[in-house]
Amino acid sequence: MLKTGVSKVLITGASAGIGEAAAYAFSDLKCPLFLVARRQERLTRIAESCRQKGAPQVICQAHDLSVPGKGATIVQECLETLGGLDVLICNAGYGIYGPVAKIPPDQMARLWQVNYQSGYESIHAALPHFLERKEGHIVLVSSVIGKKAIPFSATYCATKFAQAGLGDAMWGELREHGVGVSVICPGATATEFQRAAQKTECQQNTSWGVAQSPEVVAQAIVRAVQHKKREIRLTAGGKLLCFLERLSPSLTSHALAWIFSRRQKNSQAENT
Ligand SMILES: NC(=O)c1ccc[n+]([C@@H]2O[C@H](COP(=O)([O-])OP(=O)(O)OC[C@H]3O[C@@H](n4cnc5c(N)ncnc54)[C@H](OP(=O)(O)O)[C@@H]3O)[C@@H](O)[C@H]2O)c1
């Protein structure tokens, strides 16, 4: 349903990485844009580049999506300032690495609010508008580790599984009402994600295989909207992980437990 030069696109987490690349990809299609993240100066600079690439209207608003209710606020602001919304891309997010025992509930609650709940709030606010028009598309940027969890990323995996589950179920609820839903599952992607991630004392990163560029993910998002794809998984490492999980969930879990506990011990040894 993506209409070049017409479809209005809201992107969260548009100040860097996948969200920034998605803003440029939709600018190439001359879509009006509503961009959200916390860093206003970066959004302003990216908005200018989007205009130069052909986006006819770009509005950027700094919001902290860890604040409950902001997910609905941004949809309201988009409807008022852009005069509509056609594609909602729930992309903002960050990671926490470390064992559950070291991650207190308040850190989990904040992660949940940014990675999952703010997206739910946005979707809930956008749905009446989409359902009334029998048109619209929701994109959830989950992860391949929202399909198969890995040790020492439990809190992050929980948010990504929730996004994937929400998207999968909504796809079935909404397809007869003209509203598309896509779950994008990137593997390792070269963005600020690793640097921005919160780490406990073990300081390991959980990257899986060779990192792809954020532009690859942005093109997958465009493809998903254009062709109403239910789910897209990306990177060879990510696809391999999902394949092994299908082949033998138990063996895959044992192998991951072994690999990640070794990595954990190595990084603990390096830090002492
Ligand atoms: N990179 C990977 O390897 C990878 C793999 C699979 C899935 N993903 C998913 O892809 C999505 C985008 O990540 P990325 O790789 O592009 O990382 P990134 O470069 O760190 O970008 C994250 C974006 O989220 C925004 N954000 C973070 N916390 C926010 C908050 N409290 N309020 C509003 N915006 C917030 C950041 O903007 P501000 O800091 O300006 O607020 C930034 O624009 C995430 O959902 C991530 O889980 C990434």
Asked whether residue 77 carries a pLDDT value surpassing 80, the answer given is yes
**For 148-165, what is each residue's pLDDT tens digit?**
999 999 999 999 999 999
For 185, phi then psi, to 5°, come to -120, 85
Asked whether residue 20 carries a pLDDT value surpassing 90, the answer given is yes
Tell me what percent of the residues of the chain surpass a pLDDT of 90: 89
Distance between CA atoms of 14 and 36, rounded to whole angstroms?
6
Q: For residue 97, report the distance from its CA to the centre of ligand 1, in Å.
A: 15
Mean pLDDT value across residues 141-146: 97
Tell me what percent of the residues of the chain surpass a pLDDT of 70: 96
Is 144 contained in some domain? Answer: yes
Is 174 contained in some domain? Answer: yes
Which atom of ligand 1 is the closest one to the Cα of 115?
Answer: 45
Is position 120 annotated as part of the catalytic site? Answer: no
The residue segments making up the domain with residue 84 are 9-271
For 37, phi then psi, to 5°, come to -175, -175
2 confidence band (pLDDT: 50, 70, 90): confident
Q: What pLDDT score does 265 carry?
A: 81
Mean pLDDT value across residues 130-155: 97
Is 239 contained in some domain? Answer: yes
Is 2 contained in some domain? Answer: no
Is 3 contained in some domain? Answer: no
Asked whether residue 3 carries a pLDDT value surpassing 80, the answer given is no
Q: What pLDDT score does 208 carry?
A: 61
206 confidence band (pLDDT: 50, 70, 90): low
Least confident of 109-113, 186-190, 265-269: 265-269
Which atom of ligand 1 is the closest one to the Cα of 144?
Answer: 6
Asked whether residue 205 carries a pLDDT value surpassing 90, the answer given is no
For 141, phi then psi, to 5°, come to -90, 100
Domain total in the chain? 1
Distance between CA atoms of 143 and 69, rounded to whole angstroms?
24
Q: For residue 132, report the distance from its CA to the centre of ligand 1, in Å.
A: 31
Neighbour order of strands in the sheet with 231-233? 58-62, 33-37, 9-12, 87-90, 136-141, 179-185, 231-233
pLDDT mean across residues, the chain: 94
Is 156 contained in some domain? Answer: yes
Q: For residue 266, report the distance from its CA to the centre of ligand 1, in Å.
A: 27
Question: Residue type at 220?
Answer: A
Name the residue at shortest CA distance from atom 2 of ligand 1.
189
Asked whether residue 204 carries a pLDDT value surpassing 60, the answer given is no
Q: Which of 193, 215, 216 to mutate to test the pocket of ligand 1 (most atoms within 8 A of CB)?
A: 193
Q: For residue 34, report the distance from its CA to the centre of ligand 1, in Å.
A: 16
SS3 readout for the chain: CCCCCCCCEEEECCCCHHHHHHHHHHHHCCCCEEEEECCHHHHHHHHHHHHHHCCCCEEEEECCCCCCCHHHHHHHHHHHHCCCCCEEEECCCCCEECCHHHCCHHHHHHHHHHHHHHHHHHHHHHHHHHHHHCCEEEEEECCHHHCCCCCCCHHHHHHHHHHHHHHHHHHHHHHHHCEEEEEEECCCECCCHHHHCEECCCCCCCCCCCCECHHHHHHHHHHHHHCCCCEEECCHHHHHHHHHHHHCHHHHHHHHHHHHHHHHHHHHHHHC
Q: What pLDDT score does 263 carry?
A: 84
For 242, phi then psi, to 5°, come to -65, -35
Please report, for the domain that includes residue 183, its CATH number.
Answer: 3.40.50.720
Q: For residue 248, report the distance from its CA to the centre of ligand 1, in Å.
A: 31
Which of 97, 116, 120, 156 is catalytic? The answer is: 156
Which atom of ligand 1 is the closest one to the Cα of 38?
Answer: 41
Asked whether residue 72 carries a pLDDT value surpassing 60, the answer given is yes
Distance between CA atoms of 94 and 79, rounded to whole angstroms?
26
Is 81 contained in some domain? Answer: yes
Question: Which residue in 56, 57, 70 sits closest to 12, CA to CA?
Answer: 70
**For 173-185, what is each residue's pLDDT tens digit?**
999 999 999 999 9
Residues lining ligand 1, Cβ inside 6 A:
13-19, 37-39, 64-66, 91-94, 114, 141, 143, 186, 188-189, 191-193, 196, 214
Is 1 contained in some domain? Answer: no
Q: What pLDDT score does 203 carry?
A: 52
Question: Which residue in 10, 16, 39 sits closest to 192, CA to CA?
Answer: 16
Name the residue at shortest CA distance from atom 17 of ligand 1.
193
Q: What pLDDT score does 235 carry?
A: 94
